[in-house]
Amino acid sequence: MDVPTLERALAPQAAQRKKLEALSGEKISACFQCQKCTSGCPVTFAMDLPPHLIIRLLHLGQLQKVLDANTYWVCAACETCSTRCPNAIDIAHVMDTLRQYRGEGSHPAPKSDGAFHEEFLKSVKKYGRMHEMSAIALFTLRAQGIGGLMKQGMMGLTMMLKGKLSPLPHKIKNRGQMKTIFQKTAKERGK
């Protein structure tokens, strides 16, 4: 894999690193660049910066460079990187923290990535689990418009006819618990 090189002079910004460490609860500065996270990651082929380089940039406090990358959106959250880390840094959680941070305030998520995240959470909030058909239809409509929905419609119909996609949502028994989780999360985030 061709790993992009960093510019020679990066001025460390400890305040940015500490901010991400506080948000994620992970000791990013404990990374010693063994690259086990990158070597075990099944989706590095689709990333513009590999996981170890994201952690290095965060260690240097180069938050904007990290936010400009696609790595944390491409991350499959399989936790292979976290499992392989000899310093027990939960890298998958750091990636999730970056997605959450990017979705707030001055760093909005790219339209399609943010739309998928929102539709996924709306579906889980409403049914207690994801209803694939409605979440994907609403995501496609938001991200690609009616033309994109029409293109995806035939595949959805085919999947439904083969029993791979349910037209009706399966609701969990006690959706009140899920509602409580969302309320507590919103309260903690000050929304």
Mean pLDDT score, 81-110:
81
Element (H, E) at 144: helix 132-161
Instruction: Give the CA angle between residues 98, 61, 5 to the nearest 5°.
Output: 90
Say how far apart CA 179 and CA 8 lie, in whole Å: 49
Domain C-terminal end among 102, 134, 155: 102
Q: Using the predicted structure, report yes or no on whether residue 163 has a pLDDT greater than 70.
A: yes
Q: What is the mean pLDDT of residues 95-102?
A: 85
At 191, list the tokens. Answer: 């929304």
Are 48 and 119 members of one domain?
A: no
Long-range contacts at 144-151 (CB < 8 A, ≥ 24 apart): 144/112
The last residue of one of the domains, among 73, 102, 131, is: 102
Residue 2: the pLDDT is 47
Cα angle 108, 114, 120 (rounded to 5 degrees) comes to 150
For the chain, the 3-state helix, strand and coil shares in percent, each to the nearest 5, are: 60, 0, 40
pLDDT surpassing 90 at residue 88: yes
Q: What is the pLDDT of residue 5?
A: 53
Check whether residue 54 and residue 94 sit in a common domain.
Answer: yes
Give the tens place of pLDDT for each residue, 112-131: 566 777 788 888 888 888 88
Domain count, the chain: 2
Identify whether residues 30 and 81 lie together within a single domain. yes
Please check whether residue 4 lies inside any domain of the structure.
no
